[in-house]
Amino acid sequence: MARKTGSHSNITGPRIREVALSLFAQQGFAAVSMRKIASEVGVQAGALYLYTPDKQTLLFDLMQSHMDELLAAFDIVEIAGSARARLEQFARFHIGFHMERPDAVFVAYMELRNLEPANFTKIEELRRQYESLLENIVKAGQVEGIFDVPDSKLATMALIAMLTGVNTWYREGGRMSRAEVEDVYAQMALKAVGA
Amino acid sequence: MARKTGSHSNITGPRIREVALSLFAQQGFAAVSMRKIASEVGVQAGALYLYTPDKQTLLFDLMQSHMDELLAAFDIVEIAGSARARLEQFARFHIGFHMERPDAVFVAYMELRNLEPANFTKIEELRRQYESLLENIVKAGQVEGIFDVPDSKLATMALIAMLTGVNTWYREGGRMSRAEVEDVYAQMALKAVGA
DNA sequence: GTCTATAAGATGATAGAC
DNA sequence: GTCTATCATCTTATAGAC
């Protein structure tokens, strides 16, 4: 029962974030106490405050990291080319990225309402940036005359919702492989805008 | 400050449900205390227990009512006809119904994880019933040979996610009218399945 | 039907020992 | 770096007065 005193800062920090993300996704930010997180990590509640100033900041850091990763990852794989090719690539990227980290995606969306106003504003700005990447593709397709969408903003929101929705049902090791799911969603996305 | 004792059972009951739904949607089930609900309603916390045995049942009743209403409402408007016509009608119904009650939709989806196992099972069953209404239309379109979808289950989930997503951005009195939004989503849904 | 008072326990965060 | 102990407050739910 008793736990040895010792130095684990390089392990405990990441573990706290990992455990917190998982618990926030499963039970919700407000339903998870600092004691629950600490217990799962294997430390006492007081020790958490060596790694985060408070619970709110812990949530905000998790959400900000997720959004930063998302933007950085797309930045690396983004391609030039026709709007059609770019949309297909965005759909495949989005699906793949979201399938790989369901907890982070869930928390980043569901816990927005638990952010303090200043933190909310920052996360919303990152989200807006990401959405505008897709909207630019949709607009390019309109300009090229190959997409049939009456409103680029609405089409963007519809596409993102459709693609993100994969996380409500996809489970690793299920009936379909990740690649199959990516294929089907990418085709539906292209058809939805009339490409 | 002091509040008169009096008889308000026919007003207080619905008010509690109304206030609870709104607060749960804004702040989340776990973040909303019985005292907050009572305070907003204008009664003391103890009085809530005349209308619900406990907080969990209050949540469950709100979610169950929503799902029952959803199924009953579709039952009334459901049409016969081609898969194309039925899908367009489903899309318009779904969009309209969801736009009218964003709080209930949000709670019914976001607070699933706060339901006790037995309650979760019941709500999931109602959700499954609703999804199967759409899947039947998708399958009919496959049989008729007018829909191009490799997997009816995946297409169903993608369509529902796309349509429900309207609630992430639509606000009454915004740039587009409800009818315009319905039109555009219905057309995107049809195109997404290749109709 | 509603109130006040209360039980029994959980919560976020801090101080100081080691 | 972590623990134990603690503060002040909040939590759900109930009992009994009116």
What is the Cα A56 distance to its own chain's centre?
Answer: 18
Q: Which residues of A touch B (CB under 8 A)?
A: 26-31, 110, 113-114, 148-151, 154-155, 157-162, 164-166, 168-169, 176, 181, 184-185, 187-189, 191-194
* Nearest Cα residue in chain A from B183: A150
Per-residue pLDDT tens digits for A97-120: 999 999 999 999 999 999 999 999
Place of tokens 């980043």: A108
Give me the pLDDT at residue B10, please.
80
Residue B116 CB coordination number (10 Å): 11
A7 CA to centre of own chain: 32
Name which of A126, A120, A192, A118 is nearest A159 in CA terms: A192
| Per-residue confidence (pLDDT) for residue A7, from 0 to 100 | 60
Instruction: For residue A23, give every residue at least 6 positions away whose Cβ sits within 8 Å of its Cβ, in sequence order, or none.
Output: A32, A36, A37, A40
pLDDT of amino acid B7: 58
The b-or-e profile of A139-172 (16+ CB within 10 A means b, else e) is bbbbeeebbebebbbbbbbbbbbbbbbbbebbee
Residues of chain B with pLDDT under 50: 1-5
- pLDDT at site B1: 35
Q: Closest nucleotide to A34's CA, by C1' atom?
A: C12
Which domains occur in chain A, in start order? 1-52 (1.10.10.60), 55-192 (1.10.357.10)
CB-based contact A155 B114, cutoff 8 Å:
no
What is the CA B106 to C1' C9 distance in angstroms? 31
On whether the CB atoms of residues B182 and B92 are closer than 8 A, the answer is: yes
Q: Which residues of chain A have pLDDT under 70?
A: 1-7, 9
